Amino acid sequence: MDIQFFIELFFGGLTRGSIYALIALGYTLVYGIIELINFAHGEIYMLGAFTALLVAGVLGVYGFPAGGILIVAALAAIVWCAAYGYTLEKVAYKPLRGAPRLSPLISAIGMSIFLQNYVLLAQTADFVPFPNLLPEMEFLDHIGNVMGPSDFLILMVSTLAMLALSLFIRYTRMGKAMRATAQNRKMALLLGINADRIISLTFIIGSSLAALGGVLIASHMGQVNFGIGFLAGLKAFTAAVLGGIGSIPGAMLGGLVLGLAESFTTGYFSGNYEDMLAFAILILILIFRPDGILGKAKVQKV
């Protein structure tokens, strides 16, 4: 077996997997708190890419250095998408909180289609080029094409983001309140936790991570389009279910497993099977381990 090729595929899978993981965290956080699959989440990722594109375009005109533009564009995308996530929850889900579980799900799908068409009308149906803002990284040349600057950036940034999220959930007051709400919303309410604030916070964090994923992928692929959120969102959802929906380490693990699986399938078999594999995994997981790799089986109380 060709070790070099294996390593290349491994890192390629990690890159892709980190993006899935970043988006999957949004699905898992929201599901953990209010048991809703936010199907408009992929569109937030797409909005992140577009926001960064617009900000980078404006800053580029004024001649800022490339690295600086990327950082400002990423921050702008995070703030802007956090606002979108917050509004999305207030408009599409909060009014339906007491409704049967199907209603917010349909509302989510509606929002997804709305956001796609909104960007289609506001921007364009074509693919739009995203400027290459990455600095040359000479030390990467020595490791034999295993990763390029954008792969390196994606791995670094997503690892930091996931680490920060884990620490936040584990050690801060807000994080503890989030965990408490996820465990038992009624009890948390009785203890004086403002559930509405926690739900808003969940959407804000999830959307920021998705926006970050969008910016990273836009600088990796070099182009953006209104439709990129759909398949990426679906794959990330698969990753979240794979890891155990509702579980934060599960979403990270699920993303990486799915990314690696896709990369190796394409590398050793054929790119034809890439999408088929993702959804075959989803179906198999649902059949044999419905709670995912790290999910816990829920005891239905009577």
Partner 1 sequence: MKKGMTWLAAMAVCVTLAAPAQAADPIKIGVQGAQSGDLASYGVPSLNAVKIVVDEANAKGGLLGRTIEVVAQDDQCKPEMATNAATKLISDKVDAVVGPICSGPTKASLPMFQEAALIAVSPTATTPGLTEDGKNPLFFRTVANDNAQASLTSDFMLNNLKVKKVAYLHDNGDYGKGFADKNREIMEKGGTETVLFEAVTPDAVDFSAVVRKLRRAKPDIIVFGGYQPVASKLLQQMRRDNLKTPLIGPDGVKDETFLKMTGKDSEGTYASYPKDTSTLPEYKKAREAHIKAFGSEPGFGYYNAYAAAQCLLAAMEKAGSTDTAKIKDVLRENQVDTPLGKLSFNAKGDAAGMGLSIYQVKDGKFVELDHSIVLE
Structure-block tokens of residue 229: 């959120």
57 near partner 1, rule: CB under 8 A: no
89 near partner 1, rule: CB under 8 A: no
Least spacing, CB of residue 268 vs partner 1, in Å: 9
Residue 13 or 246 having the CB closest to partner 1: 13
Residue 199 or 220 having the CB closest to partner 1: 220
Q: Show the site string, 190-229: x = touches partner 1 by CB under 8 A, - = not.
A: ---------------------------x--xxxx-x-xx-
DSSP sequence for the chain = --HHHHHHHHHHHHHHHHHHHHHHHHHHHHHHHH----TTHHHHHHHHHHHHHHHHHHHHHTT--HHHHHHHHHHHHHHHHHHHHHHHIIIIIGGGTTS-THHHHHHHHHHHHHHHHHHHHHS-SS-EE----PPP-GGGGGGTTS--HHHHHHHHHHHHHHHHHHHHHHHSHHHHHHHHHHH-HHHHHHTT--HHHHHHHHHHHHHHHHHHHHHHHHHHHSEE-TTHHHHHHHHHHHHHHHH-TT-HHHHHHHHHHHHHHHHHHHHHS-GGGHHHHHHHHHHHHHHH-TT-SS--PPPPP-
Residue 125 or 189 having the CB closest to partner 1: 125
Residue 89 or 151 having the CB closest to partner 1: 151
> Between residue 143 and residue 182, which ones bind partner 1 under the rule CB under 8 A?
145, 148-151
Residue 274 or 291 having the CB closest to partner 1: 274
Residue 67 or 129 having the CB closest to partner 1: 129
Residue 183 or 272 having the CB closest to partner 1: 272
Question: Among residues 67, 95, 126, 172, which is the contact residue for partner 1, using CB under 8 A?
Answer: 126
Question: Among residues 19, 53, 199, 282, which is the contact residue for partner 1, using CB under 8 A?
Answer: 19
> Between residue 225 and residue 254, which ones bind partner 1 under the rule CB under 8 A?
225, 227-228, 230-232, 235
67 near partner 1, rule: CB under 8 A: no
* Region of 246 on the Ramachandran plot (φ > 0 left; ψ -120 to 50 alpha; else beta): left
Least spacing, CB of residue 263 vs partner 1, in Å: 5
35 near partner 1, rule: CB under 8 A: no
CA geometry: angle at 225 spanning 125 and 140, to 5°? 150
Residue 177 or 261 having the CB closest to partner 1: 261
Burial status of residue 112 (CB atoms within 10 A of its CB: 0-12, 13-18, 19 or more): buried
Least spacing, CB of residue 4 vs partner 1, in Å: 8
* Contacting residues toward partner 1, per CB under 8 A: 2, 5, 8-9, 12-13, 15-16, 19-20, 126-127, 129, 145, 148-151, 217, 220-223, 225, 227-228, 230-232, 235, 262-264, 266-267, 270-272, 274-275
